[in-house]
Structure 1
Amino acid sequence: MFLEPNHSKSSQNANPSGWVEVICGSMFSGKTEELIRRLKRAKIAQLQVEIFKPAADTRYHDEDIVSHNHNSIRSTPVHSSSEILLLAGSCDVVGLDEAQFFDENIVEVCNSLANQGKRVIIAGLDMDFKGIPFGPMPHLMAIAEYITKVHAVCVRCGGVAQYSHRIVQQQQTVMLGEAESYEALCRTCFPHKSHA
């Protein structure tokens, strides 16, 4: 269980150092749900929060971040990670959803935000549909002070699922979809035995 660090305004003034948190896992594992929970708690603590997602992610809503359980929070869609630095302003907390879809510059952006004293909370898929580390996520986990890996339930055996298995015949790495296109599988049930 993730224990949130002390991030009250008084503690931030005493210690201006920021940090990076990564929430990772497969599809249907609750990543976005956990991201929304942490961001709402930050708002309750009266911290200024800015939230971003890739503009290409319009599955549930053009602007809101929406979990599979239909919990939502307002966000700003961006086309590139460099926009985040311009839009984050003087906020205390920055939230990022679907981080695997950002460009590689997102790592530098998150480091810069944390170095400005901000708490940066990132959610994203750690592996693609082939079981290969996805986009900038390995680098984001490497620079993070805190990492939470969440798991889904394997739809075939009920075990602990960590893979997002694509059930449609599309081979491009980036393909937005939900339960009609993906299923969560455990290591035993996942068909790609040669994953990295």
Structure 2
Amino acid sequence: MCVLLSLSWFCGSSGRLGIMHDLRVRLYRRATSSLKSAASWSRCAKRVPGSSKRLSRPQVVTWVKPPQGRCKLNTDASVSSSGAIGGGILRSAEGDLVFAFYKEFGDQDVLMAEALTLLEGLMLCRQGNHRTCQIEVDSRVLIKAMVAALDASIAHIFREANSVADALTSSKLPSNAVLASEASLPPRARTALQLDRLQVPHVRFRRPR
């Protein structure tokens, strides 16, 4: 609850590898240029053997750039036997990196890890005087806790469209790392950042109930 209260306060106040990476972005962009609708993705999915037996119609999701003059903060967290890890990224209206971060939180449950990661992101926003930012997380439980208890402004984003924060969380970086340039991002996170900036869609498969 102390973490959630802190979140309420902040919300209220507020080389070769590079060549391969660029090629991957270009190829992915070309491959998905004609797959801009759910119908196109659905036709593509039907070509995967057995996919129709296990999955419902796919849904296309995209990370959406914030309005001009605002930034967007995306965070994510994961918990394993080695402890809780969180990561996040703040981006401009053009989809460019403002900063990214990675932090280890020790022994925490999933909800606390998500809350601590969001708090870390908000603290970095405040330190950098980034007060006009939108917030997106892929934890519905965290959103419910904040909206119900804190009346905070926060939006849900599907995990597939939260790929940069997810990539940061799964990266093996020094604890408490703050990254201020795109070149300093891990390769997977850098690729995801470029794809989001190009507004390349992601496909989300929903399992039938």
TM over 0.5: no
* Between structures 1 and 2, the one with greater helix share: 2
TM-score range, shorter chain: under 0.3
Calculate the TM-score normalised by the size of structure 2: 0.25
Q: Normalising by structure 1, report the TM-score.
A: 0.26
